[in-house]
Amino acid sequence: MKTIYHVQSGKTGSWEIKKEGAEQATKTFETKAEAYQYGRSLCDENRPSELIIHQENGQIEDHSLYNS
């Protein structure tokens, strides 16, 4: 089963990684770039997985698949 993570805008200008279906963020960051890098490492460790990157307004900007 594929694990899906989202890089999304958090509260008060932060960025977060959130596993799909989770109520709380896995981890919060000051910048989108930091959240993206952490998300890539999570996906690499938890293959098969997908990383979905959102814009600040919530729209999907990009996504990456990490297969076994």
> Does pLDDT of 27 surpass 80?
yes
> Does pLDDT of 68 surpass 90?
no
Between CA 67 and CA 4, with CA 20 as vertex, the angle to 5 degrees is 10
Confidence (pLDDT) at 12: 86
> Does pLDDT of 5 surpass 80?
yes
Domain count, the chain: 1
Q: Specify the higher pLDDT residue, 11 or 60.
A: 60
pLDDT tens-place string over residues 37-63: 999 999 999 999 999 999 999 999 999
User: For residue 17, how far is the Cα from the chain centroid?
Assistant: 4
Between CA 16 and CA 42, with CA 68 as vertex, the angle to 5 degrees is 20
What's the pTM? 0.94
Enclosing domain of residue 39: 3-66
